[in-house]
């Protein structure tokens, strides 16, 4: 697959080529694990707590910071994937959607949970890719259990288990 994964650091000090490469690998691993069989485009915005708070307020009318936000292009259900017919005619890529990750929050959560920053930021990225593919966790039911299970399976393929 030839996916286009754009990683943009919004705030000073967040533009890190190593981090961008790691997130690109993570998106590709998640798409592969989910069986996505078309070339996709995903945009990742890295920011801090204030930056993600602004996005959350502007896009969702929720005035607080969070760790990750996902903005899917399609209304999918888990296991359903877009295909070539959904591709942008100019690029030939299927625009899956956008994600916004607070690097500041990822650093704090890594410390709080006692694991590495790499594990935490990749977990947030996998979580977001699954949202782009139709997974959700609005309640404590089966859908949340399914999403958590997929997250951990994908994290294992990345050698970033708990």
pLDDT, tens only, 89-118: 999 999 999 999 999 999 999 999 999 999
Residues near 74 by Cβ (< 8 Å), separated by ≥ 6?
A: 82, 86, 96, 97, 134
Instruction: Identify the helix (H) or strand (E) that includes residue 72.
Output: strand 68-72
- Cα–Cα dist 106/122, whole Å: 9
Which range (37-41, 85-89, 139-143) has the least confidence?
139-143
Residues near 111 by Cβ (< 8 Å), separated by ≥ 6?
A: none
**In sequence order, what are the beta bridge partners of 40?**
94
Tokens of 141: 């039911």
pTM (predicted TM-score): 0.94
Domains and CATH numbers, the chain: 4-157 (3.40.390.30)
pLDDT at 83: 87
- Cα–Cα dist 16/8, whole Å: 9
160 CB neighbour count, 10 Å cutoff: 21
pLDDT at 140: 64
pLDDT at 13: 65
């Amino acid at each position: 697959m030839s996916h286009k994964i754009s990683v943009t650091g919004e705030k000073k000090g967040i533009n890190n080529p190593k981090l961008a490469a790691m997130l690109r690998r993570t998106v590709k691993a998640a798409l592969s694990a989910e069986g996505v069989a078309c070339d996709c485009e995903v945009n990742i915005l890295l920011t801090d707590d204030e930056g993600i708070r602004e996005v959350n307020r502007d896009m969702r009318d929720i005035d607080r910071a969070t760790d990750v936000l996902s903005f899917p292009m399609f209304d999918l259900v888990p296991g359903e994937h877009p295909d070539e017919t959904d591709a942008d005619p100019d690029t030939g890529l299927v625009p899956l959607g956008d994600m916004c990750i607070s690097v500041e929050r990822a650093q704090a959560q890594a410390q709080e949970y006692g694991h590495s920053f790499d594990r935490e930021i990749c977990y947030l990225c996998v979580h977001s890719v699954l949202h782009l593919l139709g997974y959700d966790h609005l309640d404590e039911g089966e859908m949340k259990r399914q999403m958590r299970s997929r997250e951990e399976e994908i994290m294992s393929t990345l050698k970033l288990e708990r």
